[in-house]
């Protein structure tokens, strides 16, 4: 007898849909539990990740558009103060950041200037001993200044913008005693590299004048010139 494969296939599909094929259902009924890869139509989607900790009180705290205070303390999970944002006795704002031991590591403030209403913005970095190792600020004239210090507070190096009238920059390097030994400057007088001895006496200078003429000056310990090498200016129309 010849089998009708088309009818046989339809009958097999119907049997599977009515439950003989392993637990499939119609409508909103859930599939049989425990089956691999099952889908529960009523399952809720997973929550997106939150930037707030689940136990953070910020979710239940009402916000305010303006908060007025003289001091804010930021504490860690152990109750230690790690940051303070407050007004100084000179009535200037200051932000101090501390490590886990409570030692200040960085401070951003407006430093007062005697006899001047405008303070100086200053960023200071401290080492573990509480010594200032880096100063980044603006001078009273508004020029940038970065100072690096050794563990004793002595000058290591500094980079600064000179007054507007000079229109240049200055880079200073010091020895282990904080004495400036090398100075590189660019200003209205030209470009100069100056070497100083331990008594801060200029002993040699190599530079370029504003017109591009190079020169070299050597001096003794008393500051008297002992040698001067200068390239003469070229004459117009000739060599």
> Which CATH number covers residue 168?
3.90.930.1
Do 122 and 176 lie in one domain? The reply is no
Do 181 and 221 lie in one domain? The reply is yes
pLDDT > 70: percent of the chain: 68
* CA distance readout (Å), 219 to 9, 139, 200, 202, 216: 110, 32, 13, 7, 10
Reported as a single tens digit per residue, the pLDDT across 132-177 is: 999 999 988 888 999 999 998 899 999 998 765 666 899 999 998 8
Reported as a single tens digit per residue, the pLDDT across 171-199 is: 999 998 889 999 999 988 889 999 999 88
Residue 206 domain-assigned (yes or no): yes
| pLDDT for res 47 | 58
Greater confidence (218 vs 19) lies with 218
Residue 20 domain-assigned (yes or no): no
Reported as a single tens digit per residue, the pLDDT across 53-72 is: 555 555 556 778 888 999 99
Q: Rounded to 5 degrees, what angle do the CA atoms 91, 95, 100 make?
A: 140
Residue 186 CB neighbours (<10 A): 16
How many domains does the chain contain in total?
A: 2
Residue 14 domain-assigned (yes or no): no
Residue 174 domain-assigned (yes or no): yes
pLDDT band at 97 (very low <50, low <70, confident <90, very high): very high
| Residue numbers of the domain that contains 81 | 67-126
> Is the pTM value of this prediction over 0.85?
no
């Amino acid at each position: 007898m010849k089998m009708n494969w088309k009818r046989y296939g339809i009958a097999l599909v119907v049997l599977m849909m009515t439950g003989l094929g392993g637990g499939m259902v119609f409508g909103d009924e859930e599939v049989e539990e425990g089956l691999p890869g099952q889908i529960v139509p009523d399952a809720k989607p997973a929550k997106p990740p939150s930037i707030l900790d689940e136990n953070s009180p910020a979710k239940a705290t009402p916000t305010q558009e303006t908060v007025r205070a003289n001091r804010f303390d930021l504490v860690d999970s152990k109750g230690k103060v790690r940051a303070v944002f407050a007004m100084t006795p000179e009535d200037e704002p200051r932000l101090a950041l501390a490590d886990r031991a409570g030692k200040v590591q960085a401070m951003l403030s407006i430093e007062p200037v005697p006899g001047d209403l405008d303070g100086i913005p200053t960023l200071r970095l401290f080492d573990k001993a509480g010594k200032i190792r880096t100063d980044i600020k603006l001078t009273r004239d508004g020029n940038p200044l970065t100072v690096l210090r050794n563990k004793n507070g002595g000058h290591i190096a500094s980079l600064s913008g000179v007054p507007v009238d000079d229109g240049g920059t200055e880079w200073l390097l010091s020895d282990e005693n904080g004495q400036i030994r090398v100075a590189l400057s660019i200003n209205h007088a030209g470009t100069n590299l100056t070497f100083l001895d331990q008594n801060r006496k200029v002993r040699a200078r190599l530079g370029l004048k504003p017109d591009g003429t190079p020169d070299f000056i050597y001096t003794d310990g008393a500051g008297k010139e002992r040698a001067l090498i200068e390239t003469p200016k070229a004459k117009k129309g000739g060599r």
